[in-house]
Amino acid sequence: MAVGTDQAERDALATRIGAATRLAARADARLTGAIDDFFVAEDSRLDERTRVALGRMLAAVVQGVETDIRRHAARVLAGQGADTQAEQLLKGHEDVVRRLSRAGLLRDRGLMDELIAQVRCDRIAAALPSQAGAPDQPSLLVRLAEVDDGVVAAAARASMTAEARRRAAVEQGGAMAGLLPAERHHQLVWWVAASIREGRIAVSGEDAAVDRAIVEAAQRSLAAHDEGQRVEALAVRLASAIDARAHELGDLLVEALGDRRLILFIAILGRAVDLDFTGARAIVLEPEGDRLWLALRAAALDRPTIARIALALADADPRRDIDIFAEELDAIAAVPVEAARSALAPLTLHHDLRLAIDALAREAGR
C-alpha cells in the first residue's frame, strides 16, 4: 500500500512541477508580449475598436472555413459508413484560431494586411458624413443600377448585393464567405485543415480515411471560392463599367464618399490613375495622405474637389490631421498633373512586383 501511495505522490509532484514549468514559460511569453506592446510606436498601434473588430473578423473567417471543412468531411465519411469518425469530426471543435495564432501563422503579412485594411474601410465608410444631396434622393448605387447602360446597371446590382451580404455577416458576427483574395483563402484553408487534422490525431490517432475526407473538404472549399464575387472585385468591375471621363471624375468621387461607398471610391480612383485596388486602398487608408493627394492630382482634380475629399475623410478618420492638410492645400493643388503621375508611377507596377520590392526594402533596412 505504501509503495502505491509513494508512486501516486511522485506522480502528483511531477504533474505539479510540470504545470509550474508551463506557467513559467507562459509568464515569460506574456512578459515578452507586454514589452513588445509597450514599445509599439503610437502611430502603429491599433485603437481598441479596430482591434476588437479585427479579432471578430479574423475569428469569423477562420471559423467559417473550419465549419465548411468539418461539415463536408463529415458528409464524406458518413457516405463511406464511417459514422463514428464523422460524428467525432463534427463535435471536435478545437480552438483553431488560437492554435493557428500560437503557431505564428496568423501573423502572415498578406493575411493581416488584407483584414486590417477591410476593417479600416468598414469603420471609415460607416463614419463618413452624408453629403448625398436631397434626403429623398436614391443612393449612388441605386441610381447606377437603374441607368440605361446594361453593363453598368448589372455591375451596380451585383455590387449592392455583395455589400449587403458582407454587411449582414459583419452585423451578425457570422461566417463571411468570399472575404479573402484567392491566395489568402488558399493558404488559410490548408492551415485550418492541418489544425483540424492535428486535433483529430490527438483524440483518436491517425486515420487515413479521415485524412482523405479532410483533404477532399479543403479542395471543395478552394474550388467554391469565387474571388470575382468579392465586394472589392465587384467595385472594380463597376468602376470599369462606369469608365468615368475626366470631367465626371471629381463629382463621382465626392458622391461615392457622400454615399459612404468607400470601396467604390477606391476602385474609381484606382482606375483613374492606373492603380490596382490593393494599391489604391493602401494610399486612401494612410492617415498622412501624402500619396493620396498625389493620386488626386494625378487624376487632375482641382483644389475644391481635393479639399472636399480630404474633409470627408478627416471627419471619418480621427488619425488624419486636417489642420496640416489645410496648410498644405495650396501646395498640393499647385503640383503639376504630369509631375504627380510621374511620382505615382512606382505604385502602378504589378502587385506581386511591388510586394517583392517592399520585401527587399524591409530586409535592407534591418
Entry pTM: 0.86
pLDDT at 175: 58
CB atoms within 10 A of CB 335: 15
Residue pair 73/214 in contact by the 8 Å Cβ criterion: yes
Cα separation of 221 and 30, whole Å? Answer: 36
- Here the cell at position 220 is 471543395
Cα separation of 345 and 341, whole Å? Answer: 6
| 21-63 confidence digits (pLDDT tens) | 777 667 777 777 778 777 878 777 888 999 999 999 999 899 9
Backbone angles phi, psi at 81, to 5 degrees: 85, 5
| 250-308 confidence digits (pLDDT tens) | 999 999 999 999 999 999 999 999 999 999 999 999 999 999 999 999 999 999 999 99
